[in-house]
Structure 1
Amino acid sequence: MDGVVVKQQQGQVIERFEAPITVKVILEELRESGYRGHLIRESTQLRVPPPTVLVPGDVVVLVEKRPREPSWFDEHDGLPSASAFAKDVAEMKKQLGKHDPVYDLGRNSAPMPLVLAHEAFAGYVQALDSHRLDVKDWTFVSRMMAMSGYFDQDVDRQAELLQCWKLFFEQNWPGKFKLTSSREPDILIQALVGGEWITVGIVVVKNEVGLGGEPCVESLKHYGSHATSRMRDMHWSYWTSCLPVLILEVVGPTIRVGGAIFHDSPGYEPFTPYLHMLKFLQDDEYLTRLARAIVAFPPAIVSISAFYAALAPMQPTQSYSERAVEAWWPSLLIAEKQRHPGLEVSQFTRQVYQRTEKRLIFLLKYSTGEERLMKFSQRYGADVHKAWSDAGFAPTFTIQTLVNGWKAISMEYYSPNTGWIPLNRLEPGPVNREHALDPSSWENCRQAVVKAYQSIHELYPYHVHGDLRKRNILFNLNSLKVAFVDFDWAGTSGDVRYPIFLNPNINWPQGVQACHPILPVHDKELLKLDLNLELNLWTPLERLKPCQRPSGHGGVHCSG
């Protein structure tokens, strides 16, 4: 219909209004939907005063005073106080037990792995394995272990904890420990950045195990409130970063360290289990683990403080129209963007139940025109990928080992613009696919895939891929070549197993089970099932268990 069109600054249409209508009425209507700001004419970019009457065909742009709040913040506002929420099992189940929980705690959903999200978290986890303890460290740990006695109330344990931390932290660290009111965390750790105090750590203290509610939930409620205030205050720490904070739980004589970030909602990850700080512990290995967990905390706090200091803008009171997309990126990608200022990054998503989940796969477009995919995984069959790539059946790639077993895989991007299309988008069918082939072309495509797999299998008969579904096979509409991707589970038959979780909605071949060995016959049977092939692709030798196979094939052994 004809009328007045109101757009966002990015170009999306917000609303169409029947005309004639005044700017004042439009702004009132938009305010009810959560939008605030003023209007400018799209043609002249000049501000339109509220009394102005707009007529059919007018196009105006809303310059937002602040962006529309995501619905999560209203949901968070409706929660009980942190202490009450942590004690209410029914409310925790209601808010945290659904597919889209209010906090990502790893029970029903999970945030981006925190060691990827921020270097301070990666440094802390690395120190858990490698920090060399000295006399100063052991002195600090012994003071913490002295706290394993009984205290009359929470505030007494809080005060003792404060004394320990203050003595150990670097003298030149521009920060403070703040005992707070009942509606805030027990202790806030804050850094002085640009003349203001920035929260870098949240500490929750319970006098004894089982008293005062669930400390993790209480910590995240406090963190959620922190993120809410930073967002509504238009504070740069929220609008330009993932808002990293370290979380310390002291529960009686135990301690646990974790971290929190904010993407679409708060996400938490524990870096340690609950560790006993018992004064008379007599286990050297356990003591070393405990000591590293404790003494690695202050350097991580200093690291987050330095991050905020480097991030702080010259004009901290500036307004933001949208959150920086880098807030969702792994720290490695942020560093890549700094090295290549013209870099464009897109993140892949997928639908999980009714929630859109961001995947750890990114498309990188450089100013030179080069395009690459970067994915992050804790498991990757680099040897198989390399062999198949050298044979011409997979993209070239490089791999970088990160903290905690994570790997960053950067590979050449087989783009649709150069003819490469996944098979699941080529298959004819009732679904309207942009690149769907006619039945004859689809049959030629299937035969090309079979031939490609047979060729690579003849070269490497004991290589297994593990997930040869259509979505992981590319076909080039121009050259008619085939390429295989997604080598996360790949390896040598008998050496690699399926992961602990397998998607139950996939029609896996017989014999495929979580944690069981991946066999070549599984690849071939999955290929047959997914492509609806009638061919006999396997040989009797491949039906044997790994330990029954002839010797002489490097790396093959019986693994149970």
Structure 2
Amino acid sequence: MVRLFCSIVGVAGSAFSVEVNEGKTVDDLKEAIKAKKANDFKEVDADKLQLFLAKTAGGAWLDGAGAAGVILDNAGAPVSRDENGAPQGFKKMDPLLWINNGNHFGKNFRPAEGNVHVLVVVPDQQLVSATAAISVKKRKLAEISDLITPSSFAKCKGSGSWVKWLKKLNGQIECHRVERSDDETPIPVVLLNETFARFEENCKVIKFSQNDCEFVSKLCHGLSTPYNSEATFAEKARQLLTAYLLGDDPVSTITPAIVNGSVSDGSYRFGETLLLNLECKLQKGDGGGDPTMQNVAYYIKNLPFVIDRQFPCLLVDICGPFMSVFGIVNTSDEDAICEPLVMSFPLLFFDNEWLMVSLARMCASLKAAVQELTNSCYELSASRHHDAFGLHLTTLDRLRFPYKDSVERNGTDISFQYLEVVQRFVFRANHAGVNVIIKFAKRYGAEVHDYCWGAGFAPKLLFCELLPNGWVFVVMEQLPLCPLRQANGMIVRDQLLKIENALQDGSFVHGDLREHNVMWDTSKNRVVLIDFDWSGRDGVDTYPPFMNAEIAWPPGAVCGEPLQVAHDAYWIASIAARLK
């Protein structure tokens, strides 16, 4: 008997092994594969599976990462790309030949640990159903950690590149560089972690000191000059950042760290927890790949095998005379998201006061964020030390929701338990047995919402709080809503006219009365308005930037221009005309 490791082409995390007598035929191997994956291939006949040797043109067997990088070409055959980006095909196994035939494995074949031997291609007509059954089996971050190499992950070409991996992982590591099959956009990191939110806000408003200005001067003069050695460049960056960020703690330092054979340019840890990682490149376009992606790989490789909480980390890239800061955090033991927390800054000391002041604020904010993450680790460590039963940790499911889950009123904390994601920034939650709707927005017309609730055509606004980085936390009652088309058209028209008049009387504009924001409340048989993000006063407040250009907005409804009651009338007339 021989044990062969197989991988299904086009399906991430699909590697599995089968045992088969090497004296059997490839057709028998197909039967063994179908038996091993009976649920996944229940709609696929064994003889319809196509098997290929997972061997490169040079005769080497693929490893897990290499197999994950294999895709199907337009003809449905498996291909991968070598380090130079050239396509490479794979030899198809003949179902009539023995497994130990010289054209396949040969009589002296001995499998080695870590190799993949067989690539399995599912016929086109069954590929969708088989993939759907398997795709829910996402890789754990701990498994991904074993498969990626930071130096290869930094590159945009090759089987171990970030491009190949992000496509295969299909959104598990979200960096906004590769499209996801579900076309979803995850929750921003500044809503997932409060330290990141404060960093974003501090970059705009933090009060910086003479010490911060002196550091910026040293940073610019120390890193803007050319270096011949990346190691020397990285050492200089480590020295500067350690003295500034961790100078108050003589024990702490940013040092190169070895993780599974990969050495970082600089890592700051609390125990085994990575809080900041530094990646340096001599110049843009000088080779060596993308420093941000290399940083992402180091974060993944530093995660513990068992993930039981959130692990936020700051990623600092210095590429020539440019410095960037990203935030990365896991949202489960399978998913992580990385986003820039601030613009990239040129490390050039010159007469642009706004740039220099902004850089000083960014550095001061970075120092505050590092201290905050460190303090959080101290608190976690102390809680575990003093609690004989250990700290009660949040469930992994909690990590996919925003950090903000409570409000304070009259000295009392009112907490909410998130239940589900309704839309990207809208969630269903519970407080004291009552379901509510929680929404996050960049701006919110609370005055208009309250006015509409008082007039009887909006959910009750329970709380509205401005968060540190400018986001608005909104809590409202949950109503049983359905589309207007399910209600009596004549009743709806009459109520729409009353709503239009009430808004005009108050000189208020909703601003976005598209049909999905005008709903029917089945509990009170009434039309209600939702989504007051853009709402404001007629002729005073303005439309936001980046309005969807594919939508036929009312005439005059343009980015930066004033809201007008006529715009609401336009939408209401449009809805009324479509009612039966």
Please report the TM-score for the alignment, with normalisation by the length of structure 1.
Answer: 0.66
Distance 2:464 2:422 in 1: 22
1:110, 1:267 within 8 Å by CA — same for their partners in 2?
no
Q: Does 1:183 align with 2:266?
A: no
1:466 partner SS = coil
- Written as runs of structure 1 = structure 2, the 5 A alignment for 1:56-135 is 70-71=138-139, 73=141, 76=144, 81-89=149-157, 92-93=162-163, 100-107=170-177, 108=179, 110-135=185-210
Provide the residue aligned with 1:45 in structure 2.
Answer: none
Aligned partner letter, 1:221 = A
Distance 2:394 2:190 in 1: 25
1:377, 1:408 within 8 Å by CA — same for their partners in 2?
yes
1:380 shift after superposition: 1.5
Q: Which of 311, 326, 333 in structure 1 is aligned with 2:380?
A: 311
Q: Does 1:142 align with 2:211?
A: no
Distance 2:579 2:427 in 1: 36
Provide the residue aligned with 1:256 in structure 2.
Answer: 324
Provide the residue aligned with 1:347 in structure 2.
Answer: 420
Distance 1:307 1:319, change over 3 A: closer
1:486 shift after superposition: 0.6
Structure 1 stretches of 5 or more lacking a match?
1-27, 34-67, 351-358, 429-440, 536-560
Q: Which of 359, 381, 398 in structure 2 is aligned with 1:326?
A: 398
1:326, 1:334 within 8 Å by CA — same for their partners in 2?
no
Q: Does 1:152 align with 2:255?
A: no
Distance 1:291 1:320, change over 3 A: closer
Distance 1:385 1:198 in 2: 44
1:510 shift after superposition: 6.6
Q: Which of 359, 364, 371 in structure 2 is aligned with 1:295?
A: 364
1:152 shift after superposition: 1.9
Q: Which of 488, 497, 500 in structure 2 is aligned with 1:454?
A: 500
1:321 shift after superposition: 12
1:523 shift after superposition: 2.6
1:500 shift after superposition: 1.0
**Deviations 1:64-100 (CA, angstroms, capped at 9, x unpaired):** xxxx963464994697532223222585555557994
Distance 1:316 1:103 in 2: 35
Provide the residue aligned with 2:276 in structure 1.
Answer: 201
1:172 shift after superposition: 3.5
1:247 partner SS = strand
Aligned partner letter, 2:340 = P
Identity rate, percent:
21
Aligned partner letter, 1:405 = G
Distance 2:353 2:545 in 1: 33
Aligned partner letter, 1:390 = G
**Deviations 1:8-67 (CA, angstroms, capped at 9, x unpaired):** xxxxxxxxxxxxxxxxxxxx989999xxxxxxxxxxxxxxxxxxxxxxxxxxxxxxxxxx
Distance 1:101 1:159, change over 3 A: same
1:281 shift after superposition: 2.0
Q: Does 1:442 align with 2:488?
A: yes
Q: Which of 329, 343, 351 in structure 2 is aligned with 1:273?
A: 343
Provide the residue aligned with 1:166 in structure 2.
Answer: 242
Distance 1:526 1:326 in 2: 38
Provide the residue aligned with 2:529 in structure 1.
Answer: 484
Distance 1:447 1:98 in 2: 50
1:176 partner SS = coil
Distance 1:342 1:272 in 2: 30
Aligned residues: 431
**Deviations 1:254-305 (CA, angstroms, capped at 9, x unpaired):** 2111211122632122122221222x42333322211222232222112112
Provide the residue aligned with 2:312 in structure 1.
Answer: 244
1:377 shift after superposition: 0.7
1:341 shift after superposition: 8.9
Provide the residue aligned with 1:379 in structure 2.
Answer: 443
Distance 1:162 1:81 in 2: 22
Please report the TM-score for the alignment, with normalisation by the length of structure 2.
Answer: 0.64
1:79, 1:85 within 8 Å by CA — same for their partners in 2?
no
2:324 partner SS = strand
Q: Which of 422, 426, 447 in structure 2 is aligned with 1:361?
A: 426
1:474 shift after superposition: 3.7
Q: Which of 551, 555, 565 in structure 2 is aligned with 1:520?
A: 565
Distance 2:428 2:251 in 1: 39
Aligned partner letter, 1:384 = V
Distance 1:138 1:503, change over 3 A: closer
Aligned partner letter, 2:188 = P
Distance 2:253 2:174 in 1: 28
**Deviations 1:208-259 (CA, angstroms, capped at 9, x unpaired):** 22222211222222223334xx2xx21xxx3222x21011011122211121
1:473, 1:483 within 8 Å by CA — same for their partners in 2?
yes
2:520 partner SS = strand
- Written as runs of structure 1 = structure 2, the 5 A alignment for 1:373-522 is 373-394=437-458, 395-411=460-476, 413-416=477-480, 421-422=481-482, 424=483, 427-428=485-486, 442-460=488-506, 462-494=507-539, 495-497=541-543, 499-502=545-548, 504=550, 518-522=563-567
1:326 shift after superposition: 2.5
Structure 2 stretches of 5 or more lacking a match?
1-34, 41-135
1:479 shift after superposition: 3.2
Provide the residue aligned with 2:43 in structure 1.
Answer: none
Distance 1:110 1:475, change over 3 A: closer
Aligned partner letter, 1:408 = F
1:450 shift after superposition: 1.8
1:342, 1:366 within 8 Å by CA — same for their partners in 2?
yes
2:425 partner SS = strand
1:178, 1:189 within 8 Å by CA — same for their partners in 2?
yes
Provide the residue aligned with 2:292 in structure 1.
Answer: 216
Distance 1:174 1:407 in 2: 39
1:403 partner SS = coil
Aligned partner letter, 1:375 = K
Distance 1:472 1:341, change over 3 A: closer
Aligned partner letter, 1:324 = L
1:260 partner SS = strand
Distance 1:92 1:527, change over 3 A: farther
1:239 partner SS = coil
Distance 2:210 2:434 in 1: 51
**Deviations 1:466-515 (CA, angstroms, capped at 9, x unpaired):** 222343234333433332111011123443225414284x6756776666
1:466, 1:498 within 8 Å by CA — same for their partners in 2?
no
Aligned partner letter, 1:157 = F
